[in-house]
Structure 1
Amino acid sequence: MAAVFVAMVLWGLAPVATRFLVQGSDPMALIAIRLAIGSVCYVPLIPWTGLTELRWTPRQLAAVAGCAVVGIIAYNVSMTYGVQHVEAGLAGALLATEPLWIALLSVVVLKQPLTRPLLWGFVVAFAGVVTLSVGGGVAFDPSMLLGASLVLLGAFLWGVYSVAVGPLVRRFGSFRISAVTLWLGTLPLLVVFFDEVVATARELDAIGWVVLALYGVGAHLVGMLLWNYGLSKVPSARAGLLLNLYPVVSVVGGVVLLGEGVDPVTLVGCAVVVFGLVLSQDNAVSRALVRRR
């Protein structure tokens, strides 16, 4: 559980790091550099993973390439540009809806049963998103509305990636697929935005490089390894509950590290989103809450 908790904190601080980095720097260059740092971290581990011994069919290659486009490129571009226009706490609350999108897409695509906890959880979480949007003034500010929409789109894209990557992970393993999708998503960004990457690398100060390094290594390598280790020791449903603290970490990180303000509406909206996520868990607690409703 400690490993899962640290992974959740690393992921919850991602909007905070992104918000800090995109102020005054080229977003696409920052994405490429950050992903490149994460990609390099996987290289020394290749001999121990049997990655070079894998044999891919054309269909599997197409599938992993599609996952790289959706989960690495599209997700990061949408999330990064969105965080430019909204505070880290709001971004964290919107990104926290990822488990709901994964569950709903599993119902639609994989024909998994639609449980009452999931349905109620989605309704409550959506009410929290509306509260954040309207009460926080997002719905009345074109720039903030665009940013929030892009962050929410990023959460949806991660849901698409998570559902699509499932068969590949079961076939080749989480570590291998994480490495390959990260490499395939990073390479085109480095090629297309090479000039911007070079210019941004020259402009970044020491603090910027430290944040980029911690973000790249923490989110893409350490967080993933800790999460997988945690899931090998505790039930996934129990571990998944800790992900509900994602927006709390983002809000606290935004306040402490970026000096962002928090109004009562934001706190209420985040609380409603978290409650919706807890409610969506198909366990005894959520079923009891649904029956009471």
Structure 2
Amino acid sequence: MDWWWMAEVDYVLAVWIKTNMIYLILGGLVLIYLWSNRVDIKHRWFAYFMHLLNKDKNPKIEELKSELFSSLSSVTSHDPELRKNNSIRILEIGVGTGVNFSHYPDGTHLVVVDPNPHFASYYDTNRKNFPNIESEDILVTTGEDMKGVADNSIDVVVMTLVLCSVTDTKQILKEILRVLVPGGKFYFLEHIREFEDKTHRRRQLLQDLLTYTGIWPFLFDGCHLNRDMLPAIQEAGFSKVDARRFHAPLDKLLLKLIIPHLKGVAQK
């Protein structure tokens, strides 16, 4: 496989950051001042940013999701009432604007969790387009503290591009195992730290720099560029984990830092 173009992208990105460093620093200082006085601005900004980012879906990413979620139609619910209707109960953690509605089977009973209350208006607008799914209002809480979701009550848990920003990765995996029914499945799609050490060392350095300085987490609501969740998922206590690392087909310059991805399914 040819990697030369990705190395070239790494170089262009590094040059752009170096050229615009003073503006990035000044912009960061302004945002720190504003958000230190009105913390809510950060959450409003992130919800609006994700709304804009998800308005035009990337066909290649949607194809990846379709492949990942294709086995949802074969899941049998643990709930007798849902099973009668050939339905399943899905919990999506970090639902955001609701970008995964189109990948859920008809009749899905969808429970959703997100700590950012400003996603609600975008989510509510989006779910009106999917009357084939019985979707609940957002439970405003973190995935680490889902008291509103009962033990052994969820057939499938879904997380896409969320584990990068959680506060306690071990706790959220414990919560996922708690709420899943025996044999229940956890579907995940996450951006991770660059895993090609030799060919993309520059990307690793940029990911570490922007994360450890706090610039990226501050701008993008706690997102860490340099996490790799595969070891944590493998050690969390699932009976089976089927996952792989890969490079996602992302074209926008800002998104080149999150090309390294992880996707898979873990079973309780």
Please report the TM-score for the alignment, with normalisation by the length of structure 2. 0.27
> Is the helix fraction higher in 1 or 2?
1
Please report the TM-score for the alignment, with normalisation by the length of structure 1. 0.25
> Is the strand fraction higher in 1 or 2?
2
